[in-house]
A and B are shown apart, each in its own frame.
Chain A
Amino acid sequence: MATAGEDSPIGFGVERVRDVAGRVIDSPVPWLLPTLAVLALFQLYPLVEAVQLSLTNEVLTTADTEFVGLQNYTDLFTSIGFRQMVVVTTVFAVSSIVLHTVAGLILALAIDYGVRRGLRAHLTTRVSVLLAWIVPGIIIGLIWKVMLIESQLGAVNYLLGTVGIGPVPFRSDPTLALVSTIVAGTWRGTAFAMIMIYGGLQRIPQRLYEAARVDGAGRWARFRHVTIPQLKPVLFVTLVLVSIYALNTFDLIFALTDGGPGQATEVFALFMYRKAFTDYALGEAAAVAVVLLGVNLLLTGIYLHVFDIGDQL
C-alpha cells in the first residue's frame, strides 16, 4: 500500500536507475552527507580556526601575524579586565540561574495547581510568560531600555516618580545596570525553566501523591517528600541548561547596556566581542572564545553525566 503513489507505468530504464539508487541509499552515507558537510564547514572549521587564532597575535588592522604560543592565555588570565569580566559574568550567571529557576519553579507549581483546581487565567499566565521568551533578544534589550530610560519617559521611572522616588539611573549606575540586565534576562529566561519544570511535574506518577495522602501527609509534606525528590533530576538539568544559557548571553545586554557603564555589565560574550570588533585583537579574542568553549564543554559534560544520555545514543 505504501507504494500506492508509484503505480504509474514505469519504464525498464527507470526501474534500473531506481534499483541502483535503492542500493546506494541502503548505506547511511548519503543520508548523513549533507549534515556532515555543514557541521564540518560551519561548526568544526570555525572552532579549529578559533583555536589556531588564539595561538597567534593577529590584529585585524596589521598584517604581520606570528605564532605566540600560549601568550594570549597568560596575558588574559593576568589582566584586570578579564578578572573584572569574570566577576560580572559570575554575578550575572549566578543571579540568573537562581532567579530563573526559582521563578520558573514557582510559576510551574502555580500553573500545575491551577490546572488541577480548574482555576481561571492559568493559560493566560503561561502565554504571557512564554511570550517574553520568544521576543528577539535585541528587541528585549530595547524594550527594557525604553522601560528604564532615566527620564520620565521610561515606565518604571515614571511609576516610581508618582510615589516620589527617582529618577533612578538604571542604566548609568554600575550596580543598577547589572541589576537591570539580570531583571531583563529573567524576564526572558523564566519561561524556559518554567516549561522544563512543568514538564517534570507532569511526569510524577499520581499514585505517589495518593499513597502519601493515604499515609496522612499534608500538602507541605507531599510537596517536600514527593514533589521535590521526584523533581530533582529535572531541576538539575534545568540548572545546567540555564547556566549554559546565562553564560553565553549576548544580544540582550548588547542592546540594553552594551556592557556599560564602563565594564559594569560586560559578560563573557561581550568581552570577547569587544576584543575582536572594537580592539580588533583577534588573537586575544580567540583565546577568550576558547576559554568560553571550555566552560561550555565543562557544563555539557555535567549535563551529559546527569542526563545519562549514553543509552540514547
Chain B
Amino acid sequence: MTTDREHDTGSSSGGSPGGSGTRRRRGGGGRTEAVAGSTSRTDGGSADVSGSAAEGSTDTRLGRVGGALADTGVRPLDVVTYGLYGIAMLFFAFPVLWIVSASVRPEGALLSFPFRLLPRAVSVTAYQRVFREGMVTWLFNSTLITVVGVGSIIAVSVPAAYAFSRFRFRGRRQLLGAVLLFQMISSIVIIVPLYSVMTSLGLVDTRAGLVLLYVGIQTPFSIWLLKGYFDTVPEELDYAARIDGCNRLQTLRHVLLRPVLPGIAVVAIFNTVFLWSEFVIAYTVIGSERSLYTISIGIYEFQSQFGNDWRAIAAASVVGMLPLVVVFISLQRYFVKGLIKGSLKGQ
C-alpha cells in the first residue's frame, strides 16, 4: 500500500507538468507541512494517530472501522495495553532521563535519599568539564563528517539508483545483487585490514578518508532504498520529458527529483544517524589523532581516561545524543517509513 500511494504522488506531481500550478504547489507543500507538523504532533502526543505519511491512509481507515465497531467503555484489553505502554515507557525512557538527571546533579548528589529523578539543585560543572576536555572539537568533527558524508552518499547513490531503475544493461542483475550483498555484510568484517588499506591509499588519519569509507559502506543501502522510490515513478514520465528535448540529466533533475525527494530524505536521515553514531571504523582509521576525534571516539576516550567521573560521562552522553534526538523527534515519521521500506541490516 505504501507503493501505491507513492505511485499516486509521483504521477500527480510529475504527471501534470503543464497543468495547473496551484495543484502542483499543493502537492509539494503538503509534504513539507507534514514534516514541519510532525514536530508539534510528536510533542503534543495525542492528536496524530498515523505513523508515517505513507501509513496515514490505512490508519485513518482502520480508525474509522475501529470506531464504528468499538464500544466506548473501557475494555480489559485496554487496561493491559496501557500497562504495556507504561512498562515500555519506563524501560525505554528511564535510562535516558536518568542520564540527563545524573548529568546536572551537584557533586555527591547522585547518592541522595530518597530517590528522586528531578535533582533538588542543578549544577553544570559536569558540562563545563566535558567542554574543557575537547567536546567542541568532537562536535565539530562529527558535524563536518556527517554533513559532508551524507551529502556525498546522496551524490553517489542517486545517480546509481537512477541507473539501476532506468537502464537495462548486461550484468545489471548481478551488479544489483552485489550491491545488496554489500548492504547485508556488516562493515565490522573489514576493520582488521582497514588500517593497512587506508595507509596504502594514503588516507589514514584524514577526515576525507573516513568520509570516503563511509560512502563505500553506506552507498549500497542508500541505492537499494532509492531504487525503490525510482521504480514507483512511471517511465512514461521519462519518455514524455525526452520527447520534450530533455537529456537524462535534465529528466532526472526536472521530472524525477520531486517524486523521489521523500526517499532522499529517508536516506539522509538514516545516514545522519549512522555517521554520527559510528564508532569502530572511525576509531580504527582516525583513532590515533586526537584533533580528529568524532563524538563517539571522544566520549569513549574521555570515559577511559576519567572512568570514575560519572557525572561528566553522563553529561558527555547527553551532549552526544542531543543532536540525533532533535533530528529524530522532528522527522520521526520518515524514520518509521525508512525502516519499513529499507529493511536495512539494523545498524
Contacts and interface: CB of A to CB of B under 8 A. Distances in A.
A and B found bound together = yes
Contact of B92 (A131, A144, A152, A277): A131
Contacts, number: 346
Nearest to B101: A155
A28 B176 CA distance: 13
B189 A276 contact: no
A262 B8 CA distance: 57
Given A43-B190, A49-B196, A242-B346, A114 B81 contact: yes
Nearest to B163: A31
A175 B325 CA distance: 33
From DSSP, what is the main secondary structure of chain B's interface residues?
A: helix
A216 interface: no
A211 interface: no
Interface stretch (A18-26, A76-84, A166-174): A18-26
B98 interface: yes
B8 to A, nearest CB: 17
B111 A153 contact: yes
Contacts of A34: 155-156, 159-160
B78 interface: yes
A153 to B, nearest CB: 5
Contacts of A114: 81, 85
A138 B300 contact: yes
Interface in A271-286: 272-273, 276-277, 282, 285-286
B254 A304 contact: no
A159 B193 contact: no
A1 B17 contact: yes
B185 A293 contact: yes
Nearest to B155: A34
Contacts of B156: 34-35, 38
Interface string B182-218: 1011101111111011000100000000001101110
B336 interface: yes
A68 B17 CA distance: 65
Interface in B275-328: 276-277, 279-280, 284, 295-296, 299-300, 303, 310, 313-314, 316-317, 320-321, 324-325, 328
Interface stretch (B25-33, B41-49, B127-135): B41-49
B346 A241 contact: yes
B336 A117 contact: no
Given A35-B156, A110-B84, A135-B324, A248 B186 contact: yes
A244 B184 contact: yes
A202 B58 contact: yes
B35 interface: no
Interface of A: 1-6, 18, 21-22, 25-26, 28, 30-32, 34-35, 38-39, 41-43, 45-47, 49-50, 53, 106-107, 110, 113-132, 134-139, 142-147, 149, 152-153, 155, 158-159, 162, 187, 189-190, 192, 195-196, 198-199, 202-203, 206, 219, 237, 241-242, 244-245, 247-248, 250-251, 254-255, 269, 272-273, 276-277, 282, 285-286, 288-289, 292-293, 296-297, 299-300, 303-304, 307, 309, 313
23 contacts: A2-B246, A3-B254, A25-B248, A28-B167, A32-B175, A46-B193, A110-B81, A124-B45, A124-B89, A125-B89, A132-B92, A134-B321, A138-B279, A139-B277, A142-B303, A195-B339, A202-B1, A202-B55, A247-B186, A248-B188, A251-B280, A255-B303, A293-B189
Shortest 3 CB-CB contacts between residues of A and residues of B: A42-B216, A136-B277, A245-B346
